[in-house]
Amino acid sequence: MRKRVVRQLLGGFCASLLPLTVQAGPLYYGADLSFANQMADCGAVYRDSDGKIKGIYRIFKDHGANLVRVRIWTDGNETKYSTLKDVIRTIRSAKAEGMQVLLDFHYSDSWADAGKQPIPQDWADITDDAKLADTLYQYTTYILTTLGRQDLMPEMVQVGNEINPEMLQKERPRLANGEIATKPSINWTRDAMIINAGIRAVRDASRNFTIKPRVMLQIAQPENVEAWFAQAANVGVSDFDLIGVSYYGFQWSRYDITQTGESIRRLRSIYPGKDVMLVETAYPSGSDPEGVRSNLNAKALLPGYPASPEGQKRFLVDLTRAVLAAGGDGVNYWAPDLVPNQCATRSKGSTTALFDFDGKVLPGIDFMQARHDP
């Protein structure tokens, strides 16, 4: 089998990354475009580098994207976005441009992430863990079968979004500031049952379709990933294909780019049959001390990467090269498409978008042109 040797890239910046031989495979460059349909409905306009108006999917494809990520929420979702109908619209748009799709199951009526994993309202009364796992299995199977019958089966599927905490959590008491009063430890027997039910659903649902989605499990912030997967392996969570990592170095992670690359390299060594993707990242292109124009208010910028279009691009290029040098198989940007629009919600745009407040693409989008040395 042909192999690729990923070499040191950034001089002293990634000097601790020794050459790593990994199985040859595709590299993925992409974006989470879960807001794209909402932006289109709200009249958002995107301009490419030449100033010409283009569709968001075409712009990303033209700049090197081969993957689109999209989230799906469960039926208690009170918006018309991140629904099955909305996801169908996104997948059709992505596949029309020849891009692959990563479907991100949140298994929640709204946001599920590293800080919370709220159970869907319709599932909240289920007290038997085996029945709850089966409910998740049936739901996942239904969604994927529905997509498959329309020739919209995604190439990758996430079983949960940033599943650092235990999945499908019941409501817990909160303090006056809104924080959860006591943060529970993970019941790994229960959590493994739920996760494995989701993985099994992906395998079973795609059995009669040409596309067999690869399964990703995602953990937020690289410093948390190795410990989580070690614990998961101990309880029998193993039938996945990709390790997904979120990295927000300017806000939530304690790691710099070098440390992030080192973590990915260790993961590739510990789990040689698994690929590792940086599935979420972002960086501000401008300062926004009050957070008016940012869904990710930068608390501390990384040294050497100012909040500017050039700083954003430098961060993304250096990060991408570090990921590839470590044997990672790609980088996916989160919410690059949030620009000013006509709707009341999310109308201000975002400093972490890959477009300016006039909708013109920023140079950071070309992180997707970054490659490793041959």
The strand pair at 214-220 and 156-159 is best described as parallel
How far, in Å, CA of 130 to CA of 59, rounded?
Answer: 45
Cβ-Cβ contacts under 8 Å for 220 (sequence gap 6 or more): 113, 114, 162, 164, 245, 246, 252, 280
Whether 162 is catalytic is yes
Q: Which residues pair with 276 in a beta bridge?
A: 243
Distances (CA, A) of 332 to 29, 35, 152, 276, 342: 6, 15, 20, 12, 27
Choose the catalytic residue: 78, 97, 155, 162: 162
Q: C-alpha dihedral over 138, 86, 345, 116, to 10 degrees?
A: 20
Tokens 């748009």 belong to which residue? 93
On the 0-12 / 13-18 / 19+ scale of CB atoms within 10 A, 212 is: middle
User: 330-334 and 28-32 as β-strands: parallel, antiparallel, unpaired?
Assistant: parallel
Identify the DSSP state of 122: G
226 assigned to active site = no
* Catalytic position from the list 179, 262, 280, 290: 280
Residue positions annotated with a catalytic role: 162, 280
